[in-house]
Amino acid sequence: MDVAIMGAGLSGLACAITLEKNGITPTIYEKRSRVGDRFVNGEVLLSIFSRPVHDCIASLSEEFGIYLKTTSNIQRMELFSKNEKAVIEGHLGFTNVRGREQDSFESQLEKQIKAAIHFNSEKTYEQLLSSYSHVILATGDGEYSKRTRNYREDLTVSIKGATVEGVFNRYSVTAWLDYDLAPFGYCFLIPYSEKEANISLAIPDLPQNKDLNINNLWDKFYDMVRSQLNQELPITDQFQITKYPMGICQSARIGNTFYVGNCFGTMMPFMGFGQYASIISGVYAAYDLCGLGNYEELMKPHRQNYANSLVLRRAMEQLSNEGLNRIIHALQGDMGEKLFQTKWINPLRVASYLLRPYIKLKKGDASL
């Protein structure tokens, strides 16, 4: 069996680690000059979005032999709407760094493989398919999935973010659901440490947003964060993504090609989370190759999570700031903490079930 992995991101590297544990050495091709060779950004692993798994990092190490160090565990989350604020406390998840950093998740995973990575690769999927018995598509987005007619694109998102210097509580993250700042989208502040943090703004590319200028929105958001924190927050690095696709594959596997990570559709449309699912997709593809499970079956729970997240995304598109105010107000106090802390309930599933009768799903969502 000759296995090629196209892409050295989270899912591709997790697949390689698992294959090697089971006696298969893959060949990895990466178009960039190094793993994580892109912009630096902060991300979160929130347990509320990974049910029934409550502790993603423990699960990865104990169940799958994949070891990751985070920048911090999240003990506090502040949620802001236009006129309301909710504070959730407890063990809520983890923060981590992605991108061209020595401690990024990609860099940590690279250290756990023995296989060589062919950087600056110009190999195409078609070339790999003709040279290897199996190909893992792990390129980080849905472009190849669309090219092979195996992808349903549900929306695109434009994102702008920056690394800022200041004084931060590394155990606390902040999110804003305020359509004056990010229409039908969201904003985050995720600390890397006590001295650096990532701030980002994401807006879906909806018809009602077609005349918006993300740079103007960014200026307003950046000024608001500086005012709210009463700090200058000088920018040391920044990035911008235009129309990043979010969608999901019709089939997780076609022939001897496996679609993993964002090639499969592990990024959740609701708030853009998906790191844990991306890593697990790589593990499950390797399980299939090693005769330890059926990839299509193993990915069914993640496919359902995606569908539930898409319902929440469509609900967000039909809310106003007044509706967001009511939601944030309701999350303040015991209700919010129970929702985030209860291990036996899947909030995505429950919210999706309750919301479906009241929202208008788009034509392309019919398969939900």
Q: What are the structural domain ranges in the chain? A: 3-365
The predicted model gives 167-178 an average pLDDT of: 97
Q: What is the pLDDT of residue 172?
A: 97
Q: What is the pLDDT of residue 36?
A: 84
Q: What is the pLDDT of residue 124?
A: 94
pTM of the model: 0.93
- For the record, the structure tokens of 139 come out as 């390129």
Cα–Cα distances (Å) from 190 to 83, 98, 184, 252, in that order, read 22, 12, 20, 32
pLDDT in tens, 269-326: 988 889 999 999 999 999 999 999 999 999 999 999 999 999 989 999 999 999 999 9
Question: Quick one: residue 255, left, alpha or beta (phi over 0 = left, psi -120 to 50 = alpha)?
Answer: left
pLDDT mean across residues, the chain: 92
Confidence of residue 352 (pLDDT cuts 50, 70, 90): confident
pLDDT in tens, 43-101: 999 888 887 888 999 999 999 999 999 999 999 999 999 999 999 998 999 999 998 88
Q: What is the pLDDT of residue 52?
A: 82
Q: What is the DSSP letter of 159?
A: E
Confidence of residue 1 (pLDDT cuts 50, 70, 90): confident
The predicted model gives 144-148 an average pLDDT of: 91
Q: What is the pLDDT of residue 211?
A: 92
* CA separation for the pair 279, 234 (Å, rounded): 33
Kindly state the percentage of the chain with pLDDT values over 90.
78
CATH architecture of 3-365: 3-Layer(bba) Sandwich (3.50)
Kindly state the percentage of the chain with pLDDT values over 70.
92
| CB-CB contact of 195 with 166 (8 Å) | yes
* Confidence check: pLDDT of 28 > 70: yes
* Confidence check: pLDDT of 184 > 90: yes
Q: What is the pLDDT of residue 189?
A: 98
* Confidence check: pLDDT of 366 > 80: no
Q: What SS3 class is residue 51? A: coil
pLDDT in tens, 335-350: 666 777 676 667 677 7
The neighbour count for residue 89, using CB atoms within 10 Å, is 15
